[in-house]
Structure 1
Amino acid sequence: MIEKQTELLAANEANAKTFKRLMPEVAEPYNALNREVYRDGAVSGKHKRLMALASALCIGCRACVLFQCRMALDLGATVDEILETCAVTLALRGTTGMGETERVVGYLRELGLIEE
């Protein structure tokens, strides 16, 4: 059975919401840091999310890959920008980056943003 990336992302987000409810003293400083880090500054929030996507692809964090991909899309990143970010990862990580890139392609396909 093929794992649905959209379902994985939804499950991750539900689990994160539960953690944040159970550990608000940890969650709020974490959320505040993220709000500050990803705000527009000298580098736009969209480009920061693309950088985070590249980092997530390099370290192989599937939850981070999906979340950062979605956040970049929400901030106006195009499919081409996402795929070029994946290409940078391949240059840095080699063939092991392809597995995570395949996750991104699957997610974009599930969203109807790319065709078979």
Structure 2
Amino acid sequence: MLESQMELRVENGRNAAIYKKLMPEVAEPYTALNQEVYKDGAVSGKHKRLMALVAALCSGCRACILFQCDQAIELGAELEEILEACAVAVALRGTMGMGETERVVAYLRERGLITD
């Protein structure tokens, strides 16, 4: 059975919420930092999320990959923008970037944004 990326994304969110509840002294400044960093500025929030997606793909953080992909979509990123961000990761990381890009493709398929 293949791993469901959507189920993994939901479970990651649950675990993050538990951690934030147990460690508010860490979670609150972390949340405030992220709210500041990802807001629209000279670079739009959507483009910042796409940049973060590339970083997540290059580092191989599966939770980050799914979260940043989801956030980019929520901010209006189109399929082509997400796939081009993946292409940057492939250019930077080669086979490793491609391997992580497969997770994004699976997630986009599960969300119905890519159809076979």
Give TM-score, length-normalised by structure 1: 0.99
Q: Which residue of 1 aligns with 2:69?
A: 69
Distance 1:3 1:98 in 2: 18
Q: Once the two structures are superposed, what CA deviation does each residue of 1:48-94 show, in whole Å capped at 9, x if it has no partner?
A: 00000000000000000000000000000000000000001110000
Distance 2:79 2:108 in 1: 8
Q: Which residue of 2 aligns with 1:87?
A: 87
Q: Which residue of 2 aligns with 1:16?
A: 16
Distance 1:2 1:98 in 2: 18
Amino acid at match of 2:9: L
Distance 2:83 2:26 in 1: 34
1:25 aligned onto 2:61: no
Q: Which runs of 5+ in 1 are unaligned?
A: none
Percent of pairs with identical residues: 71
Q: Which residue of 1 aligns with 2:39?
A: 39
Amino acid at match of 1:50: L
Q: Which residue of 2 aligns with 1:103?
A: 103
1:12, distance to aligned residue in structure 2 (A): 0.3
